[in-house]
Copies of this chain bind each other. A is one copy, B any other.
Amino acid sequence: MRSALVVGTGLVGTSAALALSERGVAVHLRDVDPVAVRTAASLGAGTVDGSADVVDLAIIAVPPALVGRVLADIQAEGVARHYTDVASVKAGPQQDVVALECDTVHYVGGHPMAGAERNGPLAARADLFEGRTWVLTPTPDAETETLNTALELVALCGAMPVLMGAAAHDRAVGLVSHTPHVVASLVAMRLEQAEERAVSLAGPGIRDLTRIAASDPQLWVDILSANAGVVADILEELAADLDNAVAGLRAMASTDDAKRSGGAQIVESMLRRGNTGRARIPGKHDGRPARYEAVAVLIGDQPGELAKLFTDADRAGINVEDVRLEHSTGQLAGLVYLSVAQGAAVGLEETLRARGWRLR
C-alpha cells in the first residue's frame, strides 16, 4: 500500500492515518469539519489537499449510520482502488451498502476493537490498534486483492485480523462487550442508594465486576444504539436466566426440604454452567483458555515493594502472565496475585520464600 484516503478524522480515523503515515504511506485526509481535518493534519496524520491520483485504499471512519452513504459517494468519485470502513457495528452498514448499490467487490467492512474512552483527533495515537483485534467482514463477492489490502492496513496498524460475517460480528460484540457493559452498570446502580456501611464491605469481586460501569455514558449510548436490537435480545435471554435464579433462590429459602433441595439444584446447575462459560474466555497468547496457577504474596505499602517483588520473581526465570493487587478497605498491607504457567508456581514460591516474602 502506497497511498490511502481517510474520510473522517475522529479518534479512529486519525489514529489509522497516523499509523499509516509513520510507515511511509501517503495519507490524504477528509472531514466535513474543517477544524478536525486541520487538527489531524497538524498532528502528522496526512495532507488535506485533494489527491489527483486514485489511492490504494479508502478508509471510511464515520458513524455507522453514514458508512453506506459515504461509500456510495466516494465510489461515484472513483477515489480509490479498494474501500473499507471502521464502524463498530457491521450488519447495518452492510445493508445500507447493498441498498445503495455500492460496488461490493472492492469493499470489505472492518472494526478495529480499540479503546474508546475519548474521542476526536486530539485523542488519536499511532499505536491505538497495536495488539488489538481488528475484525474484517468480507462478503462472498469481495475480491481477494481488496481483502489483502484491508489485511495490509491491519498489519500496518499492528493489529491482529479476524474474519467473520457482519451479523456474527454484531452478535459477538453484543455478547462479549455491549451486554457486559449494561450488566456492570445495572449492578453498580444497586450501590447508588445503598447504605454507606454496606458499600464499605465491597471487595475485589464487585470492584472488578463494575470496573467498566465507570465509562462515559454518552459514548456508550452511541455504541449501544448502533447494536440495540442485538443487545436487547441477549439481555432478554439473560433476564430469563435471572428469573430462573430468583425462583431457585426463593425455593432455597423455603422451610420445605424438597423445595430447598430443588432450588439448590437449579442454582448449582447455573453456577456450573457459569464455570463452563467463564473457562471459554481465551488466555492471552493462544486464543484458547490458558491454565494458570496463582502465587499470592503479602506486601506492605512502601514504594519499591512491587519493584523488589518483580525483580525477585524474575530471578526465578519465570514469566508472570498476569498480576492482580488486592487491598482491603482501610488496610495498608495487600496481596499480590501473580499468575504463572501451570507447573511454574512451585519454583516461584521457593524463590520468593528464600528472599523473605510472605506467601499465602
Contacts and interface: CB of A to CB of B under 8 A. Distances in A.
A274 B245 CA distance: 23
Interface stretch (A32-40, A52-60, A73-81, A128-136): A128-136
A228 B168 CA distance: 37
A172 B197 contact: yes
Residue among A214, A221, A267, A335 with the most chain B CB within 10 A? Answer: A221
Contacts of A172: 194-195, 197-198, 201
A116 to B, nearest CB: 12
A305 B115 CA distance: 23
A315 to B, nearest CB: 9
A168 B185 contact: no
Assembly stoichiometry (copies): 2
Contacts of A224: 249, 252, 267
A161 to B, nearest CB: 10
A228 B183 contact: no
A52 to B, nearest CB: 36
Contacts of A185: 270-271, 273-274
Chain A contact residues, majority secondary structure? helix
Interface stretch (A22-30, A43-51, A146-154, A203-211): A203-211
A254 to B, nearest CB: 9
A208 B208 CA distance: 5
Size category, A interface: 35 or more
Contact of A323 (B162, B189, B285, B325): B325
Interface stretch (A1-9, A101-109, A276-284, A349-357): A276-284
B278 A210 contact: yes
Contacts of A309: 310
10 contacts: A127-B298, A180-B210, A183-B209, A185-B273, A187-B277, A199-B282, A214-B275, A239-B242, A284-B329, A307-B314
In the A-B complex, the 7 residue pairs with the closest CB atoms = A185-B274, A284-B327, A172-B198, A191-B277, A217-B271, A307-B310, A188-B277
Interface of A: 113, 125, 127, 130-133, 135, 160, 162, 164, 168, 171-173, 175-177, 179-192, 194-195, 197-203, 205-215, 217-218, 220-221, 224-225, 228-229, 231-232, 234-239, 241-243, 245-246, 249-250, 252-253, 260, 263-264, 267-268, 270-287, 298, 301-304, 306-307, 309-311, 313-314, 317-320, 322-325, 327-335, 358, 360
